[in-house]
Amino acid sequence: MVIRPAGVNEGIVFVRGDLPGNNRIKADVHNVRDTTLATTLGLNGVTVSTVEHLMSAFSGMGVDNAVVEVDAPEVPIMDGSARPFVNLLKDVGTRVQSKGKKLLVIKEKIAVSERGGTAMLLPSPEFRITYKIEFNHPAIGVQSYQMKFSDISYEEEICEARTFGFLRDVEYLQAKGLALGGSLRNAVVLDEHRIINKDGLRFPDEFVKHKILDAIGDLSLLGIPIIGHFVACKSGHRLNNLLLKELLMRKECWTLVSRFSKEGMLNELHSLRVPSFQILDSVPASSPVM
């Protein structure tokens, strides 16, 4: 995978370099083709899967425009978290472009539910996340976490949380020729009773933090940062995607804001608090990230 700079308002675009012809896919909620175990984007018969960790890193580090070149149908899993991507973005640097961000401000509650899970967006002066998971497993049980979003909180609290799965599911998938790269090096794996990784967890609540990592990546497919409170219980890729689709249909529940004052507050709504992104003070991003 290679990440290259992109122009203003180009967004995040994936390019399948291993395929000829029309091989570009915009990272957009309308291009989501599958949400089984991961988020898969597709356009014109071309797909790229497991985009959520990289998209989460882009969102967490405030990157709006980039071209991602891959030579396979899946983004590299790395260690199962977003930390390797965050480190690469910080190392290469980013630059401020010539046009200000647009923000989507939630005015009224928007919610979806399915199979015992719920996901909603509530009005808030800042982007906040409250997430709860519940698994009938002695190593997980019920976990919840709350955070105010910024690049600092994302890097310190969220980006190192690894994906997790159950040994029975890994064996089933690999028997079908799927998840062949899955191992204890890039996931937290559980059997019926315990975590089988020798090094254990990176944090006691790594499971719920990884769900937040995924959600940040999924929500970034809106293409516009959200100012609101994302509240989820037993949600996942599918429900996150359904929430964005419901959001787009409920135009009376949100407004777009695009102008900023010098203090970083919104001219239209001075009570809002917009996340700052410290890596934007770094050198121009003229080199690709390998």
Is 289 inside any structural domain?
A: no
Is 290's pLDDT higher than 60?
Answer: no
Is 290 inside any structural domain?
A: no
pLDDT tens track for 251-269: 999 999 875 544 444 445 5
Structure tokens at 188: 């937290």
Is 189 inside any structural domain?
A: yes
Mean pLDDT of the chain: 89
Q: Which residues are catalytic?
A: 237
Global pTM? 0.90
Is 214 inside any structural domain?
A: yes
Domain interval for residue 204: 2-281
Is 201 inside any structural domain?
A: yes
**CA-based max dimension of the chain:** 57
pLDDT tens track for 172-216: 666 756 566 667 888 999 998 999 999 999 999 999 999 999 999
Is 6 inside any structural domain?
A: yes
pLDDT at 195: 95
pLDDT tens track for 111-134: 999 999 999 999 999 999 999 999
pLDDT at 26: 98
> Per the structure, how many domains does the chain have?
1
CATH number at residue 145: 3.30.1700.10
Is 101's pLDDT higher than 50?
Answer: yes
Is 280's pLDDT higher than 50?
Answer: no
pLDDT at 166: 84
